[in-house]
Amino acid sequence: MSSLLERLRTRRLSSTFALLAAISAVVLMASYAAHGVHGQAKANSSADATPLKIPNTSVAPNNFVQIAREVGPAVVNINTRTLPKQAASGKRGMPGNPHGRVMPLPGNPGDQEDGGQGDPQAGGPQGNFQDFFNRFFGGQAPGGGGDEDQSQERDSLGSGFIVDAKGYILTNNHVVENADQIYVKLSTDPDTTDPGRKAVVIGVDKATDLAVIKIDTDKPLPTVKLGNSDNSAVGEWVIAIGSPFALSQTVTAGIISARNRTIEPGASGQFQHFIQTDAAINPGNSGGPLVNMNGEVIGLNTAIYTQSSGYQGIGFAMPSNTVAQVYNDLISPSHKVTRGSIGISFREGLSSSIGRMYGFSHGVLVQEVKPGGPADKAGIKMRDIIVSIDGRAIKDGDDLVADIASRRPGTSIRLGYIRNGKQEVATVVVGDRDQIFSDQSASNDQAPSDGSVSSEAKLGISVRPVTPATADKMGQGGMLVLSVTPGSFADQQGLEPGLAITHINKQPTATREDFDKVVSGLHSGQDVVFEVMDPKHPADGINFLGGTLP
């Protein structure tokens, strides 16, 4: 009996637990349905969202918009192709890069010619500036040194702008130089893989890196409006338009950050005085216009200063006034730019000590006179100081070059100069720069290697006389610098081993006795000017180095 009661009690408890469990399950399911499913459905509901609508408003066009619309149709994309050629040496170089290269700057820093350009292959590195200066940012192969690969097809990219409705286009020489095929795409041409319209070169000017090309057209083309770059000012807004990285009709804005900027030292840069801007320009912008807020082209984008081969805030444009002068010469029957010259060389940036020693505060100290050239025929000599042209005072070398280069060959000028402290005047017939300097070459004479040695504690140099053979090639005697004490006066003035000192303070130092006599008379606080020559390159003429002796 008791066992039966136990079984009934257990069964009743089990039924109760089962009922409670069922009730709990129902409650949980109801709670989940109420708080989970219904809550999720409510959260995903967008019945109260308001659809977005595009407003029927517009921003009034600003000057940038108006200028881009006005100038853009006259800006073109230029593509060039250089076909494979059999290299003379049979060697293969590096393949071409359509986006430009970092290139060392040529020339001898500071050496100037009154109209000559100098050897574009001469010279070496000119300091840190050239290491970061991407001179050609469209259309050249990488590297340098003449190992350019000619066995592979190369393409390049650049920009240009139409200046004549008949199809005449201005661009950079480096965009089209050595190209076998040149193609131009207008802003209205279809955006296809077709390279564009074939163009021909009318003329180029390497001294300013400018070129004129032409395309055939059966109807007048849109043109730009040229401005007066002399009226531009630092801080003025400008716009650059071009095809950076093949992205045609790209418009960027900035300001003019400097004017009359020379970026290549020596003769190589004497005809290149740029407008500097921070308007973004990149590989492919070469040859495109720099436009002022009147919609006028005041420059042709030519170069950038960079550490990365891309835009870093500094670009350079050839001023429109220079561009117009070169263009007019290139479309003439001769298709070349003719510049005047009187056949002299000089050095810019001379020490004030040199000016005091030679008695001038402005003008140009003649470093070399080209034998048989106009200046030589007129009696101009080394160490003369040119101070005026036709009665107008000459400020510096840039002023002299600009004046003489603008004159036609055959023009007579009255050249005012100082010789030994006395004012003189000579009549000089201006010659053709290309003809005067076409045969200029340097001697490869080896520096002398024998003779006695003398140390000069006062200057910090060790010297000895040059050999008779070297003196003959130099046209005068001198003392060869054998060593320079680091930090000494001579070191600070730029004297280097291998140079020959021909004069100190205008007194000749052709012999040991002459040299010792001059040096012994020097004293602290005195201006000391060395006239030096490079025996390996006597055709380069003399150079002036000087300062105040401590």
Pairing mode of beta strands 250-261, 296-305: unpaired
**Catalytic hit among 174, 384, 388, 540:** 174
Q: CA-CA distance, 455 to 483, in Å (whole number)? A: 9
What is the full DSSP assignment across 293-337? Answer: TTSEEEEEEEEEE-SSSS--S-EEEEEHHHHHHHHHHHTSTT-S-
**Catalytic hit among 111, 149, 209, 329:** 209
The DSSP call for residue 53 is -
The answer to whether the CB of 395 falls within 8 A of the CB of 403 is no
Using DSSP's 3-state secondary structure scheme, residue 376 falls into helix
Whether 216 is catalytic: no
First to last CA, the chain: 133
Q: CA-CA distance, 311 to 309, in Å (whole number)? A: 7
Element (H, E) at 182: strand 181-185
What is each CA distance from 281 to 63, 109, 242, 524, in whole angstroms?
20, 27, 8, 52
Instruction: With CA atoms as reference, report the closest residue to 291 among 48, 499, 69.
Output: 69
The DSSP call for residue 466 is P
The answer to whether the CB of 473 falls within 8 A of the CB of 443 is yes
Instruction: With CA atoms as reference, report the closest residue to 280 among 319, 261, 252.
Output: 252
Q: Which residues pair with 242 in a beta bridge?
A: 250
Whether 209 is catalytic: yes
| 3-state percent breakdown (helix, strand, coil) of the chain, nearest 5 | 25, 30, 45
- With 0-12 / 13-18 / 19 or more C-beta atoms within 10 angstroms meaning exposed / middle / buried, residue 97 is middle
Residue 512's φ and ψ, nearest 5 degrees, are -60, -40
Whether 503 is catalytic: no
Q: CA-CA distance, 373 to 435, in Å (whole number)? A: 10
Instruction: With CA atoms as reference, report the closest residue to 245 among 310, 187, 291.
Output: 310
The answer to whether the CB of 112 falls within 8 A of the CB of 347 is yes
Instruction: Look up residue 377 and give its two tokens.
Output: 């025929």
**Catalytic hit among 232, 286, 388, 462:** 286
Element (H, E) at 433: helix 433-437
51 C-beta neighbours (distance < 10 Å), count:
4
Q: Which residues carry out catalysis?
A: 174, 209, 286
